[in-house]
Amino acid sequence: MSDREMEAKLLELDRLLNDPEVQMDPHRVWSLLQEISGAHKRPAPRAA
């Protein structure tokens, strides 16, 4: 996931959790959290 995609997901998550005018969608919140947490699980570089 690119930095731009990560930033967009974080902004959407922030909006869902903190904007009183946006209806809470728990399924979308959990989906975003899963995508964000999976983005940090990159394989370790292999030694040459």
Is 44 a residue whose pLDDT tops 60?
A: no
The model scores a pTM over 0.85: no
Q: Where are the domains of the chain?
A: 3-41
Tell me: the pLDDT tens digits for 6-38?
Answer: 999 999 999 999 999 999 899 999 999 999 988
Q: What's the pLDDT score for residue 40?
A: 60
Q: How confident is the model at residue 47 (pLDDT cuts 50, 70, 90)?
A: low
Amino acid at 26: P
Q: How confident is the model at residue 1 (pLDDT cuts 50, 70, 90)?
A: confident
Rounded Cα–Cα distance for residues 33 and 31 (Å): 5
Is 48 a residue whose pLDDT tops 90?
A: no
